[in-house]
Chain A
Amino acid sequence: MSTTDDAVLALSGVSRAFGAVLANDRVDLRVTRGHVHALVGENGAGKSTLMRVAYGELRADGGEIRLKGELIPRERHSPREAIRRGVGMVHQHFMLVPTLSVVENVVLGREPLRRGLLDLAGPAGALRELSRRFGLEVEPRARVEELSVGERQRVEILRVLWQGCDVLILDEPTAVLAPAEVRRLFGVLADMAASGLAVVLITHKLDEVCALAERVTVMRQGRVVDELDGRVVSAATIARAMVGREVLLRVERGPRGAPPGAATLLRVDGLRVTRGEGTDAVSDLSLVVKAGEIVGLAGVEGNGQRELVEALVGLRPQAAGSISLAGRELSRLGVGERLAAGLGHVPEDRLARGLVLDFSLEENLALGRQGEFCGWFGLDRRRLRVEAIRLLAEGDVRPAEPLACARALSGGNQQKVVMARELSRPAARVLLCAQPTRGVDIGAIEHIHRGILAARGRGVGVLLASADLPELLALSDRVLVMFKGRVAGQLAGAELDAPGAAERLGELMTGAGGAT
């Protein structure tokens, strides 16, 4: 076919199965130069698999792969082959050596030599040049472990660019980024496309996709279900195609504000939390959360939100101040006792804190509730099983299989397990939610938001820390903005519905607004 010639990457009829799971089912995809081509779909739709097949990392079971018009035999394809033909891929999970410098990471595996010695000066110069050209600022000599997540992402991209590529595949590069970094990254990608590269982007950020991508390929259950033009369709249209039904990008909720006469559940007074080096992460912070109220916590990352939540749960020591739950002082209690006293915690880092990845789902659901399921003869497996089946069904976790390993689940479903557990604590009165929907697909987001609102309806107080302003605006009764460890201001009730609320929050987040 002559039409394949202008496609730098063309897949036709590509299939790939994992055991009984058909991850890709006769998929066609054509990627051309000069565009950002978005690949969207729910977790588990087969996006990563498709791109790993294209990159030669996974072997296709059937179908054809063409790079720049040339047919690559399935059994001969490999990442080495892909790189040789100018295809580069940035994986969902970082693949950097933290103790090496940026430039060392970039050249790893193809180290340039000069007179038999490793030459880093040359590549460092080339990196500076690339950084400048694409606005990917990062210091070549810095050690990777000292870099922020956003900077590490740039290193990953620079590495691929340095190898020389004209097709750049990025698998969920935004999952770990704060909103400002996402915008910045997308700006860079647009420039790259404009300069003639083909960029394939897997992401869950539908609003941004619309602004950026000319082509949007939508996958569902291993198949391509739609090809849309991002410039003319709305995020809602894409979401509908992804999920196969109407999705509410904003869940409906009652009027804002805590119910009249609601009791104060969580009271924090003069809380001070220090970082390792002795500087204050949180200084002299006070807040209250009432029953049936969702208090949003906004702020640019690194302004103490994380430390605040961790100190409230007891994972981090507090230097001063008091924390009380329904009148009971918590400051001196350990994590276990705080949970028993009625706290729930959906941690920011669900892989390291939220779940034991090698535990089964039912064991994960028992975490922090182990005491409840233990009788004289130890863990009551039967009762745990019954409870797990109920929670998995209510939490819409797929697969709803109590013995499945948590590691095997997609990010969205893992988060649903954490939510289900935290909401199920019989004594839970205050729920601390940190970044509950980060890196989670759209169907799961809707479910998680419903769960939070349902908890509010039951009179649970919620403290919701999120970097996602639309999320905060949609759910919160009140939003506190943190800046340099303090509450820099708050928006409540009608202020949140007023036009320009997001801008007002943005100002407060950068320290531009006045203090309350």
Chain B
Amino acid sequence: MTRAPVMREALVLGISLLSAMAAGSLLILALGESPAHVYGLLLRSTWGDSYGVGQVLFKSTPLIFTGLSVALAFRAGLFNIGAEGQLMLGGLAAALVGASLPAGAPAALALPLVVLAAALAGAVWGAIPGVLRACFGAHEVINTIMLNFLAAALVLGLGHEVFLPETTHTALVVEGARLPALGLAGSAANLSFILALVAAAAVWFYLARARRGFELRAVGLSPGAAENAGVRVRATWVAAMATAGALAGLVGCNFVLGYKHYFEEGMGRGAGFMGIAVALLGRGHPLGVVLAALLLGTLSHGGMAVNALVPKELVDVLQAVIILAVAASSAALDRGAGRAGQ
């Protein structure tokens, strides 16, 4: 990793945003509206007031966690398609542990416990495909997808036991296990966002500075060379998948601990798959992941505001164009830079 790429990444993002805006403008014109007006509304409804900002942060938080999850696994050479299932079980675990605590449990004790429960449940679910890969060579893409279905079935099955009668959600977690709101004009943004930033910083440190992170990157780029350098490749795979699972599991914090205070079937649905796009947009770098999550969070919340003028599928189109443009322009720039030669 050299320094020069920073400018390049900025260029990739700039090109992608511009092309997405251009494509969006055409669409808006075709619908008989003014692009300036629609984009203006989108911006005002998101970054224009503190409620909007809060909602953007709330929507970005799960994306930061899942983006980090996918990015970390990817740096180890693994494709984690399983964030979806990992975050479901993380949320459920946090809710169950949080609801089973005695009502007066102090936050200093309860909070670490529930956050840990979310991470641990995700880690276990993530470690399974890691172990299958390490021991049997079974490809993690297939297994993480299968485990997503299994997680959904597990949630429904357990639901019979743990959901409140006639509902699809659990009991409320105790007072002490709740994450306070950030106080942005009554928006849903809560301390989970700060937790997500801390997680991003931790992942950055791990990859850039920690010994295990160095080994993880070596394994991702060249398992053979890593093995030759004394790195335990299989153990690294398992650890990377478990850590990725833990990060995805933390999504539960945002919804369960910070917002609804219970787990609901369908919570965070889609955030796992969006994590793949976030990791791609963020170019696998923790800071990039945070920025990409904020961007997609903005589009997601802004889409509802512009819904009055244009169908909210417009933002899906914008999202898709940005992702395609990032993939295409980064590949083109790689080629331009002339990687060949011996």
- Write the residues of chain A forming the contact surface with B, with a CB cutoff of 8 angstroms: 18-19, 43, 48, 92-93, 313, 315, 334-340, 345, 347, 349, 352-360, 363, 366-368, 370-371, 374, 377-379, 381, 403-405, 407-408, 410-411
Interface residues of B in 302-342 (CB under 8 A from A): 338-339, 341-342
| Complex-state Cα separation, A338 to B3, whole angstroms | 34
Name the CB-closest residue of A to B206.
A378
Which residues of chain A are near B221, meaning CB under 8 Å? 356-359
Name the CB-closest residue of B to A52.
B340
Q: Which of B225, B227, B230, B232 contacts A355 (CB 8 A)?
A: B225
| Complex-state Cα separation, A128 to B113, whole angstroms | 73
| Complex-state Cα separation, A359 to B2, whole angstroms | 9
Which residues of chain B are near A345, meaning CB under 8 Å? 228
Beyond the given A378-B205, A378-B211, please list 20 additional residue pairs across the A-B interface where CB-CB is below 8 A. A92-B342, A313-B228, A335-B230, A336-B231, A336-B232, A339-B229, A352-B225, A356-B217, A356-B221, A356-B225, A358-B222, A359-B221, A367-B229, A368-B228, A370-B211, A370-B214, A371-B211, A377-B209, A379-B209, A411-B342
| Complex-state Cα separation, A352 to B228, whole angstroms | 9
| Complex-state Cα separation, A366 to B231, whole angstroms | 12
| Complex-state Cα separation, A355 to B223, whole angstroms | 10
Which residues of chain B are near A334, meaning CB under 8 Å? 230, 232
Which residues of chain B are near A335, meaning CB under 8 Å? 227-230
- A367 with B218: CB separation less than 8 A: yes
- B338 with A379: CB separation less than 8 A: no
- Write the residues of chain B forming the contact surface with A, with a CB cutoff of 8 angstroms: 1-3, 205, 208-211, 213-215, 217-218, 221-222, 224-232, 338-339, 341-342
Which residues of chain A are near B3, meaning CB under 8 Å? 403
| Complex-state Cα separation, A352 to B222, whole angstroms | 7
- B339 with A407: CB separation less than 8 A: yes
Which residues of chain A are near B225, meaning CB under 8 Å? 352-356, 367
- A352 with B224: CB separation less than 8 A: yes
Max count, chain B CB within 10 A of own CB: residue among A19, A338, A359, A405 = A359
A-B Cβ contacts below 8 A, count = 94
Which residues of chain B are near A405, meaning CB under 8 Å? 2
| Complex-state Cα separation, A403 to B5, whole angstroms | 12
Min CB distance A334 to B, Å, is: 7
Which residues of chain A are near B205, meaning CB under 8 Å? 378
Name the CB-closest residue of B to A405.
B2
- B230 with A349: CB separation less than 8 A: no
- B342 with A356: CB separation less than 8 A: no
Which residues of chain A are near B224, meaning CB under 8 Å? 349, 352-353
- A379 with B211: CB separation less than 8 A: yes
Name the CB-closest residue of A to B230.
A336
- A360 with B2: CB separation less than 8 A: yes
- A403 with B211: CB separation less than 8 A: no
Using A357-B222, A367-B218, A370-B211 as known contacts, say yes or no to A18 and B230 having CB atoms under 8 A apart: no
Name the CB-closest residue of A to B205.
A378
Which residues of chain A are near B208, meaning CB under 8 Å? 378-379
The 3 closest A-B pairs by CB, nearest first: A336-B230, A378-B209, A368-B229
Instruction: Sample 11 A-B pairs with CB under 8 A, ordered by A number.
Output: A93-B342, A315-B227, A352-B222, A357-B222, A359-B1, A360-B1, A363-B1, A378-B205, A378-B211, A379-B209, A379-B214
Max count, chain A CB within 10 A of own CB: residue among B224, B227, B230, B339 = B230
Name the CB-closest residue of A to B232.
A334
Min CB distance B207 to A, Å, is: 10
Name the CB-closest residue of B to A421.
B229
- B214 with A363: CB separation less than 8 A: yes
| Complex-state Cα separation, A92 to B205, whole angstroms | 40
Which residues of chain A are near B227, meaning CB under 8 Å? 315, 335, 353
Name the CB-closest residue of A to B218.
A356
| Complex-state Cα separation, A92 to B232, whole angstroms | 33
Min CB distance B36 to A, Å, is: 41
| Complex-state Cα separation, A24 to B296, whole angstroms | 47
Which residues of chain B are near A48, meaning CB under 8 Å? 342
- B210 with A378: CB separation less than 8 A: yes
- B222 with A355: CB separation less than 8 A: yes
Min CB distance A206 to B, Å, is: 19
| Complex-state Cα separation, A411 to B208, whole angstroms | 27
Min CB distance A317 to B, Å, is: 13
| Complex-state Cα separation, A356 to B228, whole angstroms | 10
Which residues of chain B are near A356, meaning CB under 8 Å? 217-218, 221-222, 225-226
| Complex-state Cα separation, A379 to B208, whole angstroms | 8
Which residues of chain B are near A410, meaning CB under 8 Å? 342
Min CB distance A84 to B, Å, is: 24
Min CB distance B227 to A, Å, is: 6
Min CB distance B137 to A, Å, is: 14
Min CB distance A314 to B, Å, is: 8
Name the CB-closest residue of B to A338.
B230
Which residues of chain B are near A378, meaning CB under 8 Å? 205, 208-211, 213
- B342 with A370: CB separation less than 8 A: no
Which residues of chain B are near A358, meaning CB under 8 Å? 221-222
Max count, chain A CB within 10 A of own CB: residue among B205, B217, B225, B231 = B225
| Complex-state Cα separation, A405 to B227, whole angstroms | 20
| Complex-state Cα separation, A362 to B205, whole angstroms | 18
Which residues of chain A are near B210, meaning CB under 8 Å? 374, 378-379
Name the CB-closest residue of B to A19.
B338
| Complex-state Cα separation, A99 to B229, whole angstroms | 31
| Complex-state Cα separation, A371 to B212, whole angstroms | 10
Min CB distance A376 to B, Å, is: 11
Q: Which of A353, A370, A377 contacts B215 (CB 8 A)?
A: A370
Which residues of chain B are near A360, meaning CB under 8 Å? 1-2
Min CB distance A315 to B, Å, is: 6
Min CB distance B139 to A, Å, is: 18
Which residues of chain B are near A381, meaning CB under 8 Å? 209
| Complex-state Cα separation, A496 to B341, whole angstroms | 40
| Complex-state Cα separation, A129 to B104, whole angstroms | 89
Name the CB-closest residue of A to B209.
A378
- B2 with A368: CB separation less than 8 A: no
Min CB distance A221 to B, Å, is: 15
Which residues of chain A are near B231, meaning CB under 8 Å? 336
- B230 with A337: CB separation less than 8 A: yes
- B232 with A366: CB separation less than 8 A: no
Which residues of chain A are near B230, meaning CB under 8 Å? 334-340, 368
Which residues of chain A are near B341, meaning CB under 8 Å? 18, 408
Which residues of chain B are near A315, meaning CB under 8 Å? 227-228
Which residues of chain A are near B215, meaning CB under 8 Å? 370
Which residues of chain A are near B232, meaning CB under 8 Å? 334, 336
| Complex-state Cα separation, A339 to B231, whole angstroms | 11
Max count, chain B CB within 10 A of own CB: residue among A349, A358, A366, A405 = A358
Q: Which of B1, B2, B228, B229 contacts A370 (CB 8 A)?
A: B229
Name the CB-closest residue of B to A346.
B228
